[in-house]
Amino acid sequence: MENNTTTANKKYKSSVFAALFNDLEKLLSLYNALTGSNISADVPIRIVTLGAVLFMGRCNDIAFVLGDKIVVLLEHQSTICGNMPLRLLLYVSRIYEAMIDNDAIYKKDTIKLPKPDFIVLYNGLEPYPDDVTLRLSDAYESVPAEMEALGGSLELEVRVLNINEGRNDEIVKKCEDLYGYVRFVGKVRTNSDKGMSLADAITTAATECINEGILAEFLAANITEVTSMLTEEWNLDRALYVRGKEERKEKSKEIARNALRKKMSVEDIIDITGLSRAEVEDIIRSKEQHDNIAVAVQT
């Protein structure tokens, strides 16, 4: 298949995933696997990723058009963002803007647009279902029933597939490169869990994959770039994961404090917050100390 795009530029490769699938044949194989379709290799593909458009400090991974009929925005994420439908709405608007003549929108004839398809592949550490649909409408403020009846709407749906090892295997195995990517990331995590440094975990995983014929050509040709990109991704993802855990822990502690004020039992507080008994007892001690100080100040 001829590579008929000039937008496949290295500066737009913001992740190992994007670098791996910055190839037309691989993109078609991936899309067919994810959607269960059987689009022919004869259908032209254009990569239309806008490298200069940033959301939350990151580029969109891949955007491409299939035969001028479908525009696909494909993201790989290790953390799920509830604002993904909004982000992709803003992004696809810019894709459409780049596709059309600015003056054409004022003409009588309807402009034909490629139908959008939004897919996110998730392989983060947090538990997540196999297949979820996120909707833009979930973010809408509630309105009175009489206003709902007036009609008018804007919807955007994003399909999120969990591609961690052992999840959605039937889909993952339909695309050799996606399966290889999942195996490679899985090996890196396994090596890291064994106590290896991240650099050693990556290089060891790459060597294992090459020896097993998994992404062998890609890893052998790009190991330095892969190590650099994956290290940056890994450190960012780990920081976000740790921060998220800390925020959830603090929220659970606040719920526990409110429950204590309502005279709930320790057992019930443990049940509703997920905190350990020691953590709840520590909150109780802190509350008692605070109350004692308050009493002492008043007297």
SS3 letters across 105-150: HHCCCCCCCCEEEEEEEECCCCCCCCEEEEEHHHHCCCCCHHHHCC
Alpha carbons 174 and 176: distance in angstroms, whole number: 6
Determine the pLDDT at residue 60. 60
Q: In this predicted model, what pLDDT tens digit does every residue of 240-292 receive, in sequence order?
A: 555 666 677 788 888 888 888 888 888 888 888 888 888 888 888 887 666 66
Q: Please state, in angstroms and rounded to a whole number, the distance separating the CA atoms of residues 177 and 272.
A: 42
Contact 272, 294 (CB under 8 A): no
pTM for this predicted structure = 0.74
**85-143 pLDDT, tens digit each:** 999 999 899 899 888 888 888 888 898 899 999 999 999 888 899 999 999 988 988 87
Band of the pLDDT at 7, cuts 50, 70, 90? very low
Tokens of 240: 């976000």
pLDDT of residue 245: 64
Q: What is the pLDDT of residue 236?
A: 59
Beta carbons within 8 Å of 202's beta carbon, 6+ residues apart: 188, 191, 226, 227, 230, 231
How confident is the model at residue 20, as a pLDDT? Answer: 92
Q: Which two tokens stand for residue 193?
A: 């869990």
- Residue 57: what pLDDT? 47
How many Å separate Cα 164 from the centre of its chain? 12
Is the separation of the CB atoms in 122 and 77 below 8 Å?
yes
> What kind and span of H or E run contains 213?
none
* pLDDT single digits (tens) 166-189: 999 999 999 999 999 999 999 999
Looking at per-residue pLDDT, the higher value among 76 and 176 belongs to 176
Instruction: Please write down the long-range contacts of 131-135, taking CB distance under 8 Å and 24 or more positions apart.
Output: 131/159, 131/160, 131/161, 131/162, 131/168, 132/159, 132/160, 133/157, 133/158, 133/159, 133/160, 134/82, 134/84, 134/85, 134/158, 134/160, 135/85
Mean pLDDT across the chain, nearest whole number? 83
**Hey, where are the domains in the chain?**
10-138+152-250, 253-298
Q: DSSP state, 222?
A: H
